[in-house]
Amino acid sequence: MRFYTKADNGSNTERLRISNAGNIGIGTVSPDTLLHLKSSGAGDPKIKIENTNADQHQGMIHFYKTGSSPADGDAVGSVAFYADNSADEETLFGDMKAYTDDVTDGTEDGSIKFRTIKDGTLTDTMSLVSGSVGIGTSSVGGSPGAGSVQFHKDANNYVRIWDNATATMYLQSNGANAPSVSLKNSNSDALEVAAFQQSNAGGNILGQSRNGLQMLVGAPNGVMAIGTSNAKNLVLGTNNTTAATIDSSQNVGIAMSPGGSHRLDVTGSAGLSTGTAWTNTSDARIKKDVATITGATAKLKQLRPVSYKYTDQYLNVHDEIDGAKTYHSFIADEYETVFPDAVSVQGDLIKTTPATYYADGDDLPSGKSVGDEKTAETSETLLTNLKQYTPHDLQMFVVAAVQELDARIAALEAA
């Protein structure tokens, strides 16, 4: 059946056709759907739905899925966008489709899902699922696929951004007392900020790297803790320079790596803000076998004070030392012959070359990503069993030697 219009003194123009299959065509003589609109005009064909009623209600397009056996997962309606590809093939470039996720009376759930074509394949782009939003995934909740984003609201409010099936960004607020932010990559390197509150409950900042867990913990009442969960060093620095290092044995190095035999190692000078000195516990009640030092002058005469500079080999490990400077001290090997108990083995001289990692701009080998290890950490032992001495005994023997010399002077003066 065909419908025509005719202008004055003009010819008939077909406007609408109903095919023998019951399809209605406007602008086409071969409609292939129930309603087929076709036009070669720019921006046509258009469908206009207009509501002129002076109330809050609107016009609508009404999709109604009806049947005798409604089921979860039924498609309710869709809007599809087709165009020809370079091979003149009618191709679906995108669509939006509504589903019945749960048809149970009283607990109904629904979703609207958007797809677009990528590299010739329709790809889930965005999903609206029962009050939540997923980007790059058709599902919300659980573990969506690579490169997806979730905006999800339930008893545990959270936002997730996923990559390679790993949660790379996670924002969560579980009620009023446990907000958290987590960032993680596929190598399990992570940063987490959790449970910082206005109350005394404290909070955490956790950095999980492939080499272990580094943490900044704010405990109740303002107590703060910084540490690692493995045998790696804790390093503190300023201006891109290491200021202090704490090793896995809790030894501390200031402007250097801890030597291993002292609780505190310092490169450079250490001072006190007042004219005092370091203190020692020296109560008589904790000592036995107390005896006056004798022969101090003869003992001190065996010592050889020297001036020296450090070797290139030592400076290669301790670049914090000024290699051009002349230092004054004793040789531990010689000092040991005079004060054997004051000399000990410090450890080995080890040259450590840190691991390197691929960065932006590097040529990445197959299977490698930015942040992956490029070269492993290496260590080379240059010298073994380095000796060290403590000058503590020297102070007491200098005092004893002065007393001995004073006694000799007094004896000479009395003669």
Residue whose entry in the numeric block shows the structure tokens 């402007």 = 255
Q: How confident is the model at residue 201 (pLDDT cuts 50, 70, 90)?
A: very low
Interatomic CA distance for residues 120 and 320, integer angstroms = 59
387: helix, strand or coil: strand
Tell me, yes or no, whether 163 lies in a domain: no
Tens of pLDDT along 236-281?
888 878 889 988 888 998 988 887 677 888 877 788 777 777 788 8
237 with 331, same domain? Answer: no
pLDDT at 169: 65
295 with 264, same domain? Answer: no
Tell me, yes or no, whether 285 lies in a domain: no
Q: Does residue 32 register a pLDDT over 60?
A: yes
Average pLDDT for 211-227: 56
pLDDT at 9: 81
390 with 346, same domain? Answer: yes
Full residue range of the structural domain in which residue 263 is found: 233-269
Triad 215, 220, 222: Cα angle to 5° = 80
**Amino acid identity, position 269:** S
pLDDT at 270: 80
Q: How confident is the model at residue 198 (pLDDT cuts 50, 70, 90)?
A: very low
Buried-exposed string 282-293: b where 16+ CB fall within 10 A, e elsewhere: eeeeeeeeeeee
385 with 265, same domain? Answer: no
Tell me, yes or no, whether 135 lies in a domain: no
301 with 397, same domain? Answer: yes
336 with 399, same domain? Answer: yes
244 with 333, same domain? Answer: no
In terms of phi and psi (left: phi > 0; alpha: psi -120 to 50; beta: otherwise), the region of 385 is left
253 with 323, same domain? Answer: no
Q: Could you write out the DSSP letters of every residue in 280-345?
A: ----GGG--S------HHHHHTT---EEE---HHHHHH-TTS-TT--EEE--HHHHHHH-GGGEEE
Tell me, yes or no, whether 252 lies in a domain: yes
Q: Does residue 10 register a pLDDT over 90?
A: no
305 with 407, same domain? Answer: yes
Q: Does residue 144 register a pLDDT over 80?
A: no
Question: Tokens at residue 53, please?
Answer: 């009623």
Number of domains forming the structure of the chain: 3
Tell me, yes or no, whether 170 lies in a domain: no
346 with 397, same domain? Answer: yes
Tell me, yes or no, whether 373 lies in a domain: no
